[in-house]
Amino acid sequence: MNTTLRLRRLRRTPALRRMVRETALDVEDLIAPLFVCAGQGIIRPIGSMPGQAQRSVDQLDAEIDELCELRIPAVLLFGIPAHKDATGSSGWDPAGPVPQAIRAIKDRAPAMVVIADVCLCEYTDHGHCGVLAPRPDMGDVLNDATLELLVREALAYADAGADIIAPSAMMDGQVAAIRAGLDAAGFHDTILLSYAAKFASAFYGPFREAAESTPSFGDRRAYQMDPANGREAMREVELDVAEGADMLMVKPAGAYLDIIRGVRERYALPLAAYQVSGEFAMIKAAAHNGWIDERRAALESLLAIKRAGADMIISYYAKDAARWLMEDYS
């Protein structure tokens, strides 16, 4: 053994560990998802996601104030409408929960970056992400017919003042269609954050409770990505870059660190990763049972996502992580 080579020397104290730390997690990396519902006076806790809730627009002020105090720079909005139908028409209603929330947040905190998720699953009565084929029992979603509706939804959010439009429906050509629609309407400066590699994951379960978007039949594996396919993920990303995406996303994050790393190595665009509801809920459940240290496990999971190459992390732990990062941890 070469006794002069002792890597432990650099780990001996908290100060030394901080000095040589290769990856830094910062509050500015965090994006907080928010679930905005129709109605008034509503704060409805989400059972499978402790600490998270559906909120009506009139109940957002305290949440936005807290996020600003914690220096969290951005929110990602999901809407739960009062009315659902086969085409998800509430998604582009200017009086719907997301456009109302965008305007309210921009009035309350003009510097807050507002990202609007663009998909139809929360707004359709069947829970799928687009228009169904004539044989709906087969679960087929019509790609090109859905694109037209995604553009309408994106325009409603851009008109309300969203800084970033984030299409998540995994329809082929959605980035190009939305970019063209935004530009034609004069929204040249509105940013497109593409859910470029979104996998058909088992980790979305709690989200579907939160967004009330569980499919009434079938599943989404015909349009979301097969978890087995890494090379295909790079093709999806390549297409979205070519179609005009300004930013990219990998979803989920924890089980797809290799995909995050692969995207980071190939593309220079800003890269987000979504630590999804199931990842959050698993840590919460294990901590509740006393099996793990919640703070250490949550921060370690976020640090791993950052180390893999993500510039931004969407996480339900955003507020807790911001508080923890304000403290001195080793």
List active site positions: 198, 251
> What token pair was written down for 36?
């905005």
CA pair distance 253, 272, nearest whole angstrom:
9
Buried b (16+ CB within 10 A) or exposed e, 58-82: ebbeebbeebeebebbbbbbbbbbe
> What token pair was written down for 189?
């400066």
Return phi, psi of residue 70, to 5°.
-85, -5
| Cβ count within 10 A of residue 102 | 25
Return phi, psi of residue 199, to 5°.
-95, 150
Task: Classify residue 227 by burial, with Cβ atoms within 10 Å: 0-12, 13-18, 19+.
Answer: middle
CA pair distance 209, 229, nearest whole angstrom:
27
Sign of the CA dihedral running 303, 227, 194, 274 = negative
Q: Provide the 3-class DSSP secondary structure of residue 271.
A: strand
- The amino acid sitting at 296 is R
What is the maximum alpha-carbon separation in the chain?
73
